[in-house]
Amino acid sequence: MHVIIATDGSQQSLRAARHFKSFADPAKITDVSVVAVVRPLAAVAFADDLSPQEKRRADLEAGGFRKAAESATEAIASVFEGWGPKVHQRIRSGSPANEIIKAAAQLQAGLVVVASGGRGISETVLVGSTAQRVQHYAPCPVLVVRPPRRTRRKK
C-alpha cells in the first residue's frame, strides 16, 4: 500500500505523521510519500515550522519557499527513517487540497494522512479547509489527525 503523508509545514502535520506511524504496520506498507504543496499566490507560499530556526532563515535566503517546503518534507520523512517502507518526498505547487487529491490518484495511494489545524469555529465557519476538502474528494481512505483537546487552565 502506498501512503501519502501531507504536510503544510505545521507542527500538527508532524504529529499526524507520528500518530500514523504509532499504529500502522510497516510490513503492509510499500511506500510512504511525504507531499508538501507550495501555494504560489498565498501571502506566505510555504511556512516551515519544523526545521530549526537557523535552517529556516537560510532556506528563505537561498532558495525561497520551495526550499522551505523541501526542508519540511525532510523533517517529516525523517520520522519514517529505518521504519521499513520506501520514503519519497514530493513538492507540488498549487492549491493544497487539489494537489493532495491529485497526488493520491496518481500514486494510487491506499491512504492519505492529513492534519486538521484547529477545532471549533475557525474550522467550521471558514470555507476551504484543506483537511475537509481532502476528506470529501480523495479517491482513497483519509486519516485526519486533529489536535489534542485544549485543557481549560492553559491557553
Partner 1 sequence: MAETTTEPTTDEADEGGLRRSITGKQLFFYTLGDVLGSGIYVLIGLVAAAVGGAFWIAFAVGVSIAAITGTAYAELVTKYPQAAGAALYVNKAFGNRVLTFLITVCFLSASFAASGALADGFASYFATLWEGPPALLVTLLFILALSIINFIGITESVVVNMVMAFIEIAGLVIVLVIGVWYIAEGNAEFATLTDFRSSEGTHPAVAILAGVAQSFFAMTGFENTANVAEETIEPHRNFPRSLVGGMITAGVIYVLVSMAAALTVDTETLAGSDAALLEVVEKGILPISTDVMSTLFSIIAMIAITNTTLVAVVTQPRILYGMANEDVVPGVFATIHPSRRSPWVGLLFSGAVVAALLVVGHVVPKVEGETLIGRLSLVTVLFLLFIYALVIIACLKLRGHDEDENTFHANTPLLLVGLAGNVAIFAWSVYDDPTALWWCGGLLAVGVALFLVEYVFGSRSRPSGVERGEPTVESRREI
C-alpha angle 115/105/148, rounded to 5°?
10
Total interface residues for partner 1 by CB under 8 A? 62
124 binds partner 1 (CB under 8 A): no
Stretch that binds partner 1, among 15-23, 111-119, 133-141 (CB under 8 A): 111-119
11 near partner 1, rule: CB under 8 A = yes
What sections of 24-153 are H helices per DSSP?
53-62, 64-77, 96-106, 121-125, 130-137
Q: Which DSSP state fits 81? A: T
Which is nearer to partner 1, 108 or 141 (by Cβ)?
A: 108
Pull the grid cell for residue 31.
511506500
Question: Which residues between 51 and 110 bind partner 1 (CB under 8 A)?
Answer: 53-58, 60-66, 70, 73-74, 77-78, 80-95, 103, 106-107
Name the grid cell of 81. Answer: 527513517
